[in-house]
């Protein structure tokens, strides 16, 4: 499934276990603040992005919400066409704090429901992730959020969450890029029917000069980011690249402009075993320290 954005760009979607459709490319907004956040989200919506990823931590929910409201007012998009994600921050774990944090996000965004709400990190040392996830399941029951999920959950905490709460998250949003394709975790997701979203899908630019990627990019006459995002989409994942640049916004959305061969997909996945970087950022087992 999918939809036509502007400029003849087709954006594929996946169906979550709860029946909702999630666009396979979304806009990441970490490190976008103030007028920049407004400008980039507004430009993205205008060119056809329908999936926006924010969080309490990013401190930009007001600007993201204002861009959404203005795009709707301008007739560029309807609320029903959008897929808006936010996340409960670590300090707000626990039943009451999480429910309050959700209401604050909703108010800051100026929305009356979210499409997806995530537990941002498991913080295993605190032992509150099951209670926090159950709290957002209650919000789902009240109809204020369409889908619920988690982020940065590794195998042990995912298995514990599902057995303790009896609820399977619709999404797990995790660090994932060439060199760190998270094969064991994705196998668990597949078994449980969880969609994987890749954060830092471009490894924040780190992988874009790798010869496997530049070689495939040259072969197809596209830029390296397009190869990485196509690899993720063709592998059945969602990706939420962040860019502050208009030209890159469009490039990143246009994942259907190329198809990778099975060998190309395999060579990108094989970067896990040589030449790739492995995990680049915080290991959720040890966060917060």
Q: Which residues bind ligand NAP (CB under 6 A)?
A: 28-30, 53, 120, 151-152, 173, 199-205, 208, 223, 225, 240-245, 248, 251-252
CB of 240 to ligand NAP, least distance (A): 5
Structure token digits, residue 215 = 């070689």
Cβ-based nearer residue to ligand NAP, 13 or 60: 60
Give me the least distance between CB of 75 and ligand NAP, in Å please. 27
**Residue closer to ligand NAP (CB basis): 192 or 208:** 208
Residue 113 appears among annotated catalytic residues? no
Choice between 151 and 166, CB closer to ligand NAP: 151
For tokens 């990019």, the residue is 217
DSSP per residue, the chain: -EEE-STT-EEEEEE-TTS-EEESB-EE-TT--HHHHHHHHHHHHHHT--EEE--GGGT-HHHHHHHHHHHHHTTS--GGG-EEEEEE-GGG-SHHHHHHHHHHHHHHHT-S-EEEEEE----TTT--HHHHHHHHHHHHHTTSEEEEEEES--HHHHHHHHHHHS---SEEEEE-BTTB--HHHHHHHHHHTPEEEEESTTGGGTTTT-HHHHHHHHHHTS-HHHHHHHHHHHTT-EE----S-HHHHHHHH-GGG----HHHHHHHHGGGGTTS----S--GGG---
Min dist CB 225 to ligand NAP, Å, is 3
Our CB check for ligand NAP shows the closer of 74 and 90 to be 90
> Whole-number minimum distance, CB 155 to ligand NAP, in Å?
17
Q: Is 115 or 251 the residue whose CB approaches ligand NAP more closely?
A: 251
Among the listed residues 58, 117, 129, 154, the single catalytic one is 58
Residue 28 CB, nearest distance to ligand NAP (Å)? Answer: 2
Ranked by CB distance to ligand NAP, the top (closest) residue is: 28
Residues serving a catalytic function are 58
């Amino acid at each position: 499934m999918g939809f036509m954005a502007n400029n003849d760009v087709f954006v594929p979607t996946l169906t979550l276990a709860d029946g909702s459709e999630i666009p396979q490319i979304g806009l990441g907004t970490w490190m976008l603040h103030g007028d920049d956040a407004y400008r980039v989200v507004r430009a993205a919506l205008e060119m056809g992005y329908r999936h926006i990823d924010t969080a309490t931590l990013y401190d930009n929910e007001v600007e993201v919400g204002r861009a959404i409201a203005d795009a709707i007012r301008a007739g560029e998009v309807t609320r029903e066409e959008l897929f808006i994600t936010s996340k409960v921050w670590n300090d707000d774990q626990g039943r009451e704090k999480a429910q309050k944090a959700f209401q604050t996000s909703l108010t800051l965004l100026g929305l009356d429901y979210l499409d997806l709400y995530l537990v941002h990190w498991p913080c295993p040392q605190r032992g509150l992730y099951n209670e926090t996830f159950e709290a957002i399941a209650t919000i789902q029951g009240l109809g204020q959020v369409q889908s619920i999920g988690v982020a940065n959950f590794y195998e042990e905490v995912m298995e514990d969450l599902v057995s303790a709460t009896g609820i399977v998250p619709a999404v797990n949003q995790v660090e994932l890029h060439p060199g760190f394709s998270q094969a064991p975790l994705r196998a668990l997701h597949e078994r449980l029917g969880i969609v994987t979203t890749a954060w830092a899908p471009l490894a924040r630019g780190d992988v874009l000069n790798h010869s496997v990627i530049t070689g495939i990019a040259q072969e197809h006459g596209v830029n390296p980011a397009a190869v990485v995002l196509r690899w993720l989409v063709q592998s059945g994942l969602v990706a939420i690249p962040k860019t502050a640049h208009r030209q890159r916004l469009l490039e990143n959305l246009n994942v259907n402009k190329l198809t990778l061969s099975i060998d190309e997909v395999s060579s990108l996945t094989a970067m896990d075993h040589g030449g790739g970087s492995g995990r680049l950022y915080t290991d959720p087992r040890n966060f917060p320290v």
